Structure 1
Amino acid sequence: MAEVVLEKWRRWGDELRRLRCAAKKTQAQLAGLLHVAPVTISAWERGTRTPNRDIAQAIDEKLETGGVLDQLWCALANVREIPEEWRNFATLERQATAIRAHQPLVIPGLLQTKAYARHIMLQWEPELDSDQLEHQVTARTSRLDALRRTALTFVLDEGVVSRQVGSAELMRSQLDHILNVIDDHRIRVSVIPRNAPLRPLMISSFRIMTLPDGRLVGHEELMWGVHVTSSAVEVEKMASVFGSLQAEALSPGASADLIADLRKEI
């Protein structure tokens, strides 16, 4: 009897095959890691057998995909909730094809230098020992390198780039870093000038992430935690506010000129 190919799951199988080959694993090697038969891997890749979500997560772990197969499984199975592991914003970042972020108080973590991040962390968590501090600094400042294919749009209040954090040298270096990274066409930084009376007043930072399947996830940083949502109503509100903030901001080119001028004044 001919095998029945499940078109929906053949797409998942194609992605499994791509990721397996990228990891330089044979079907037999992956089967050994998962404690299944090689023919099972073959069936998943051909779309003749339906994987469960536990399998998708296990393969993601073994191949170190960052959750790609689990995300695709959820999309194909029409699972609309946010998987628990995606609530970690770094995981969301790695999966996102585009990120829009607003920060009213400090330089966004993705744009921070090590010195700036270290100063901020010591102010917030003075009890950190040197090893813990350096681990967190490295984790924060290395995130940008993992997003080479992600479109990044930042809208910052002018106070974020004009307010001196740490020494003058530290702040000049931080502004230089922003000016350098925005040479990358993927990264756009817009600054809302002080004289923008129509700007929405925000006291917390937030971001909107576009996932590969088109879903939008909102992520708001609060005083003692974060709020993650995929609710269409909540994300739409975030997107509307972001649009209003962006409308009041300078163009990326004019923002770069403003940042350069502010750097000279430090």
Structure 2
Amino acid sequence: MPQKPDPLWARWGAELALLRSRAGMTQTDLGRRALLSKSAISSFELGTRTPKVHHAEKLDNALSTDGTLVRLWRNLHKQRQVPDWFLDALMLERSSREIRQYQSILVPGLLQTPDYARTLIRLREPQATDEHVAQLVKGRIGRLPEITPRKPLLWFVVDEIVIKRVVGTPKTMAEQARHIASLVDDGTIRFQVLRETGLHPGICAPFRIMTLHESKAVLCQEKAIGDEVVDDPVKVNKIATLFGAMQAEALSVGESLALLREQQKEFEQ
């Protein structure tokens, strides 16, 4: 009887299959280079066999992927740091060349500080243990360092309320504003603010557009419990056009940075 795939490791297997395909290798080719059997490669890609870290190391070496599979293995191995419903979006995030995000309510997860993230998680899961909350915080704040070495384009547009709403304490918000400003200053992200006055195209639910390669982009629409991933090109292009309209209506990056620093000073007083 065929073994049932493990949903978690099937995600790792899908990344392995993608990297192997990009390298122009068959499963047999990769097996020879990594000193593994073709059946082992096949079962890893299907998610029917759980890889060990030394398998990931061998495959990274064979594919010259600079530790990609090891990093993914470690992150999936510690999946308890990430809610199950977020794993698909997380996989896409790590593979994206561009991430464009609109947020109308809260600071985007990629940009959150530990105190800001801890406050939100504790509010959402009031009965969670301190250990569980700490694990979730670690998983959230570890996402940005995980993707920045690849230097993807990270562009955020937020409603003004995002930088004004007090989540936690004024000290928490001052640190959060300082953190975002530093990411703008060092060129890690581009950040724009839509002013509160009047109507603008951003009166809608939060979303992310993640470009995987030249001809493939997906849309992640935020919901109460998890993101819905949409890969219909017509729908993705429609939201990409909407994001462009938001960029046009928002303050420039420089103006947004100045507003962010003003808000930081207010929180510090």
TM-score, length-scaled by structure 1: 0.72
- Output aligned runs, 1:142-153, within 5 Å: 142-148=142-148, 149-153=151-155
Give the alignment of 1:1-266 within 5 angstroms: 12=21, 14=23, 30-32=34-36, 56=45, 62-63=55-56, 65=68, 88-148=88-148, 149-202=151-204, 204-266=205-267
> Gapped runs of 5+ residues in structure 1?
1-8, 21-25, 37-50, 68-84
With 126-135 and 57-66 compared, the bigger mean Cα shift is at 57-66
Moved more, 230-239 or 155-164: 230-239
SS in 2 for 1:100: strand
Q: How many angstroms does 1:199 deviate by?
A: 3.1
> Quick check: 2:31–2:38 contact (8 Å CA) kept in 1?
no
Distance in 1 of aligned mates of 2:172 and 2:218: 33
User: Which whole-Å deviations, capped at 9, do the CAs of 1:117-164 have from their partners, x for residues lacking one?
Assistant: 000111111121111101100000010001122110000000000111
Residues 66, 91 of structure 1: 8 Å contact kept: no
> What one-letter code is carried by the residue in structure 2 that aligns with 1:235?
V
Bigger CA radius of gyration:
1
> In the aligned structure 2, how far is the partner of 1:107 from the partner of 1:136?
16
CA contact (8 A) 1:87 1:228 kept: no
Between the two proteins, the alignment pairs up a number of residues equal to 217
Residue of structure 1 equivalent to 2:75: none
**Greater per-residue helix proportion:** 2
Tell me the distance in 1 between the aligned counterparts of 2:124 and 2:182: 27
Question: Paired residue for 1:48?
Answer: none
Q: Is this contact kept in 1: 2:159–2:202, CA < 8 A?
A: no
129-138 or 206-215, which moves further after superposition? 206-215
Distance 2:50 2:254 in 1: 40
Check the 8 A contact 1:216/1:235 in 2, yes or no: yes
Structure 1 pair 214/146, CA: closer, same or farther in 2 (3 Å)? farther
Please report the TM-score for the alignment, with normalisation by the length of structure 2: 0.71
Identity %: 31
C-alpha deviation, 1:35, in angstroms: 5.2
What's the secondary structure of 2:156's corresponding residue?
Answer: strand
Measure how far apart 1:213 and its partner are: 5.0
Aligned to 1:40: none
- The alignment yields a C-alpha RMSD, in angstroms, of 3.1
CA distance 1:239–1:33, change in 2 (3 Å): same
Q: Secondary structure at the match of 1:154?
A: strand
Give the deviation of 1:190 after TM superposition: 0.3
Tell me which amino acid in the other structure corresponds to 2:108: P
- Alpha-carbon distance in 2 for matches of 1:103, 1:259: 15
Residues 220 and 228, structure 1, Cα contact 8 Å, conserved in 2: yes
State the SS of the aligned residue for 2:21: helix
